[in-house]
Amino acid sequence: MIIKIYGAPAIIETLVLYYNKDLLDKAPATFKDLEALTKDPRFNFATEKGKSTAFLAKWTDFYFSYGLLAGYGGYVFGDNGTNPKDIGLNNAGSIEGITYATKWFQTYWPKGMQDNKSADDFIQDQFVKGKAGAIIGGPWSAASYKEAKVNYGVAEIPTLDNGKPYSPFAGGKGWVISNYSKNKGVAQKWVDYVTNTDNQNTLYEMTNEVPANHESRDAAAAKKDELTTAVIAQYANAQPMPNIPEMAEVWTGAENLMFDAASGNKTPKQSANDAVKVISDNIDQKYQK
């Protein structure tokens, strides 16, 4: 059988830790280090006594919080993301991860961090203005920090309290040929051309985005760029996002997964169970066979 592939990966991406080098001598290595920073008065949030902006992460957004849950043993779907009947977002690991996040929301962070719509603006503002020591973000944010003249460093996300790595989703960009193309053979030649080592090297030099091509990735790593090094290292602990249609229901069902627990409206277990029920019910309704 002849298999024809009309697409190829171009760039790899995943979440990393940004930190302000004017405020921190080095990147925090563990979440205990991050918690210790909340005692530093430089990060006190002026309008809410006892709250800190030392470390910020948009954990009300499932894309950002998944790495925490996964690090504690949670997962989206079983069988390597292929079994939508097995949802692992309310297993013991996920509940432990949500419980840990709740500590940040209720003990350390300003109340505005619970608002999924405005939390990202708040995080970006605090980091750019030098009021946040470290944040979790994507490689796509680096250009804006550079433009804002933030003296930032980039590192792997710190080790969790259980000694395990933060395991965010692995993502990226690729070249894909439309199924409606009338010249798929020519298109394939184009994909082969833009993804060869020389052109992936050139793409990295132009954009500083980490190549999917392994030879080019090794060449990029040799440059010792902090962002590149962090993305490659974090990518090794990242998890592929489930590539099945049912994943669409996870984004909807998990919208309040963290908020309900963070706000105190529900216990972490109740929040997880309710989110999974929404996801499961929607999958049953929309994907019945």
229 within domain boundaries: no
256 within domain boundaries: yes
Work out how many domains the chain is built from and give that number.
Answer: 1
What is this structure's pTM? Answer: 0.93
Residue 154 confidence (pLDDT): 98
CA distance linking residue 196 with residue 215, whole number of Å: 9
208 within domain boundaries: no
Mean pLDDT of 188-209: 92
Output the six-digit token pair for 138: 């994507």
Residue 123, domain CATH: 3.40.190.10
Which domain does 250 fall in, by range? 15-168+241-286
The answer to whether 157 and 166 are in contact (CB under 8 A) is: yes
What are the pLDDT digits (tens) for 232-263?
999 999 999 999 999 999 999 998 999 999 99
Beta strands in the chain (DSSP E): 7-13, 16-20, 55-56, 77, 83-87, 134-137, 152-155, 169-176, 239-240
